[in-house]
Amino acid sequence: MSALAHNPYGLHKRDIASNINFFMNVPVTPEGGLTFEDGVSAPGKYVEMRAEMDVIVLISNCPQLNNPCNAYNPTPVRCLVWNPA
């Protein structure tokens, strides 16, 4: 959110879409709460997306050291961006 305060695009907090957890395992409890379970990521897994308009993307690979979702061991993420042929 602090990046929005100093961005050249004129975005506001209402311009931010909900986040997507591709590899985190955050089930909803019967009471409507959230729990953090062992992740579903593994070496070699990937997500491929296609943007049909200009987008701004923020990525986090769970860099928090004190979080069991990454076994207390954050690892690098690789992001490839290309223009369609």
- Tens of pLDDT, residue by residue over 62-84, are 666 777 767 777 777 888 888 87
Q: What is the CA radius of gyration of the chain?
A: 16
Residue partners of 12: CB distance under 8 A and separation at least 6:
4
Position 30 pLDDT exceeds 90: yes
Write down the mean pLDDT value for the chain. Answer: 79
pTM, entire model: 0.56
For the chain, report the end-to-end CA distance as a whole number of angstroms.
34
pLDDT confidence of residue 62 = 64
Compute the average pLDDT of residues 7-27.
80
